[in-house]
Amino acid sequence: DAGVTQSPTHLIKTRGQHVTLRCSPISGHKSVSWYQQVLGQGPQFIFQYYEKEERGRGNFPDRFSARQFPNYSSELNVNALLLGDSALYLCASSLGGTEGGYGYTFGSGTRLTVV
Amino acid sequence: AQSVTQLGSHVSVSEGALVLLRCNYSSSVPPYLFWYVQYPNQGLQLLLKYTTGATLVKGINGFEAEFKKSETSFHLTKPSAHMSDAAEYFCAVTSGYSTLTFGKGTMLLVSP
């Protein structure tokens, strides 16, 4: 079985540009969450989607947006990139519903560098 | 609101020694608790999780953790460290429909 797939694996962007990160969840999983992990820190929650609806949003500016498609894949978009957006962006897949009992499976992440 | 505190940003052990990584949590509702491991330039791999039932949870690679409600702790242990255990370890908490809240991580260093 394929795990959680994220693309691209690495990305270099210039300040002010826009970026789109993509995630395909495990087959049968209906929930996707996005996390930002800055070097030396734990992952911070950005968004959660379940059945194409936004279920939760973390404390991130409006420059960050996301969506989930009918096939449950997801995109994370970041506008007007800042140097501080440089981080590993992780996508987590879960069955949905009551999350706690099932846990989350993470992809390998997209390493974004803003120069 | 939930939070996780991992005591010690770095822990050093010798190969064959006991590994103990500490995690304390705060949650207003019964928590679900997780330990993840992250190797350099990789994503997070689930080591073990506590949901309900037995408070001593066994995970992969010989790791285990014990949920202690009275101490709000979920410490990770392994009887004998191996060089391949060197990585960063994250404790996380969630409950019901909420998302994961992570600690800041503990880097485990294993010396020969």
| H or E segment and range at residue B106 | strand B106-111
pLDDT of residue B25: 95
Cβ of B3 under 8 Å from any chain A Cβ? no
Q: Is the peptide bond before A8 cis (omega within 30 degrees of 0)?
A: yes
Residues from chain A that touch B49, judged by Cβ atoms under 8 A, are: 103
Q: What is the mean pLDDT of residues B52-76?
A: 94
Rounded CA gap, B58 and B44, in Å? 18
> Do A33 and B100 make contact, defined as CB atoms within 8 angstroms?
yes
pLDDT of residue A81: 98
Closest chain B CA to residue A5: B43
Residue B51 has pLDDT above 90, yes or no: no
Q: What is the mean pLDDT of residues A41-66?
A: 93
Q: Contact A102/B94 with Cβ under 8 angstroms?
A: no
pLDDT of residue A97: 63
Residues from chain A that touch B95, judged by Cβ atoms under 8 A, are: 100
Cβ of A30 under 8 Å from any chain B Cβ? no
Under the banding of pLDDT at 50, 70 and 90, the label for residue B96 is low
The pLDDT tens digits of the residues spanning A77-90 come to 999 999 999 999 99
Under the banding of pLDDT at 50, 70 and 90, the label for residue A100 is low
pLDDT of residue B41: 80
pLDDT of residue B107: 97
Residue A103 has pLDDT above 80, yes or no: no
Residue B9 has pLDDT above 60, yes or no: yes
DSSP letter assigned to residue A25: P
Query: What Å distances lie between residue B88 and A34, A98, B10, B34, B38, CA to CA?
Result: 20, 28, 9, 14, 5
Rounded CA gap, A107 and A93, in Å? 8
> Do A100 and B42 make contact, defined as CB atoms within 8 angstroms?
no
**Which residue is associated with the tokens 């947006």?**
A65
Rounded CA gap, B77 and B65, in Å? 6
